[in-house]
Amino acid sequence: MTIEFTVRDGIAEIVLNRPEALNAIDPDMRAALGDAWRRVHEDDEIRVAVVTGAGDRAFCVGSDLKKTPPPPESYAQRAFGQAASDHLLAALRTDKPLVCAVNGLAVGGGLEIALACDIRIASETASFGLSEVRVGSIPGAGGTQRLPRMINSSTAMQMLLTGDRIDAAEAWRVGLVGELCAPDELLPRAREIAGRIAANAPLAVRAVKRLVRQGADLPLDAAIDLENYVWGLVRDTEDRIEGRLAFQEKRPPRYRGR
């Protein structure tokens, strides 16, 4: 299996599972990732997802160039016709939080997967790069847009235009990742973060993620107006009442996503 997908205690764990190929994305893995993204979005039992790679050498090195033939359809057919998009992150549209545990090389599409996640932590041995220009291409899953929004423009442009990688320490310094961990502590830490998220009221968690994502593209006054509107929606939920009752009764809350 190119993807391992498990769910426990509201946490989905997605493991890119081609360690012999540094978890490079072949057509089978691309399709399996699409299915995984959709399941995270649609399964009400899932409150948060952790994404990582099998083995200790790589999170994901992007497309498997030996197994990625050009599509049979023209680009116009894919854009305007009936063919479903094979964009790496086309199905990744969810308000549920994604925690990425980068356990080694994160290059090309691998880094683009990490960039699409909400929280990124990394092994001290990880490294990061968008190397597409070195093979006559460009990042095609949001790399040119997300990276400059997350780190300073000069560092982003240097990475994009040279194809050079940065190590974990530099990734932390420029804000690409939020934490560095020893290799054997990485996945336990990602699971701990995911568990703390899963324990919170799911509608409130998803509302926060949507507000942060949508608000980044709005003027501040408009973003605050949107926040006030969403606050009103969350105010009337059962979970908000449950959270206050649990606090008063000094017990863990029992959130139901209502």
CA 250, chain centre distance (Å): 34
C-alpha 169/C-alpha 177 separation (Å) is 9
Of 20, 42, 45, 112, the active-site residue reads 112
Q: Are the C-beta atoms of 220 and 211 separated by less than 8 Å? A: no
CB 123 within 8 Å of CB 180 = yes
Catalytic residue among 13, 45, 73, 132: 132
- Is residue 42 part of the annotated active site? The answer reads no
Residue 179 pairs in a beta bridge with: 121
Burial class (CB in 10 A: 0-12, 13-18, 19+), 221: exposed
Whether the Cβ atoms of residue 129 and residue 107 lie closer than 8 Å to each other: yes
User: Is residue 132 annotated as part of the catalytic site, yes or no?
Assistant: yes
Angle formed by the axes of helices 153-162 and 143-150, nearest 10°: 150
- Tokens linked to 206: 């998803």
Residues identified as active-site: 112, 132
